[in-house]
Amino acid sequence: MRYITYILLFTLLALWIVPGYATTNVGTAGAQFLKIGPGARVDSLGGAFGGLADDVTSIYWNPAGISQLEKTSFSDTQIFWLADMRYNYLAFATPIENIGTLGASVTFLNVPDTEITTLAKPDGTGLWYSAYDAAISLAYAKQLYAKESGVKLSVGINAKYIHQQIHRESARGVAIDVGTLYHTGWRSLRIGMCFSNFGPEMRFSGPDLESGAEEAGDTRISEYRPFPDTTNPARKAALETIEFPLPSNFRLGIAYDIIDSGDNLLTLALDANHPNDNSERLNIGMEYWFKKMAAIRGGYKFRLGEDWRDEEEGLTLGLGIHLTLGNRLLALDYAYADFGRLQQAHRVSLGLQF
């Protein structure tokens, strides 16, 4: 098992060393809202959660992680996103003895109403349109085996339905996430892997893409034809939109407890990401818990490649608190993310275990 650990660590190091600027494929994938990570705790760790994956938001980050849950868990994430967009993520998971852990999540991104403009009326027509993105998922995870040495292996899968809507046009699709989580048994080292958003391409369609309708016997032609034209059946033309792939990503993460002395717990987490529509990214985060009641977190998102200096994402910070209410645990987390010229994004999450 230790050799497997060395191989995975070498792979993580290789992703850091190998340049990521050969090809980035920026702008080639759709459904970009799937790349907005839920959980204020995770974001304050710089998005490094593939090897940690120990709360209900693991449904998104690494579905194998929900196998670590001992109680029924619920989480609600509210994100005050860029350009006044609002993001909401609800997740629920419950362990079932001798079966595994079942989970579900709902993602919703709302775009503020925008006034419709045309070439003739570039300042606005007085009409408005709305847009939103949504996803619903079902997850399952199970611990395959656990040994007295501390070695554990879990697997998980998350199946999701995706819907995007712009005015009267929409696109629909399905995707799956597959993940594994391995406790090496060497001290507290954990290794996680996840392949996200694997599914067929999506395409927009809707009534505003259709034109050129002409019904047989149309009264509009009666002015210059004495009789209805029955030789010309109804005809319709529709614009064919381009299919776009989903923003898939391969994540390899590790987590290690640097300090674990009862009252003090300091954890280091690293994630290497290989997306299909951008260059590689390395995320790093640290979390300090005092008596498992209050937490301070920090992280950084590194974009690999020659364009890393132009990256808007970077520093993340956050706080967390756990309140015990009888046999229930209430978790409140906050995260701040610096987006440079795009200003900041704030995340607030509320969690409950019972």
Structure token digits, residue 126? 């007085």
Higher-confidence residue of 321 and 238: namely 321
Residue 82 has pLDDT above 90, yes or no: no
Nearest by Cα to 150 from 197, 183, 106: 183
Q: What is the pLDDT of residue 222?
A: 46
DSSP 8-state secondary structure symbol assigned to residue 128: E
Nearest by Cα to 108 from 34, 170, 43: 34
Structure token digits, residue 201? 């391409």
Structure token digits, residue 27? 């702008």
Q: What is the pLDDT of residue 233?
A: 52
Structure token digits, residue 280? 């590689």
d(CA 332, CA 319): 8
From residue 312, alpha-carbon distances to 29, 60, 144, 302 in Å are: 19, 23, 40, 10
Burial class (CB in 10 A: 0-12, 13-18, 19+), 179: buried
Q: What is the pLDDT of residue 157?
A: 98
DSSP secondary structure, 168-185, as one string: TEEEEEEEEEEEEEEE-S
What average pLDDT does this structure show over 299-303?
Answer: 90
pTM for the full predicted model = 0.84
CB contact at 8 A, 270 and 284: yes
Residue 127 has pLDDT above 70, yes or no: yes
d(CA 92, CA 110): 21
What average pLDDT does this structure show over 212-227?
Answer: 48
Write out the CATH class of domain 2-205+241-353: mainly beta
From residue 242, alpha-carbon distances to 114, 171, 234 in Å are: 24, 11, 26
Residue 86 has pLDDT above 70, yes or no: yes
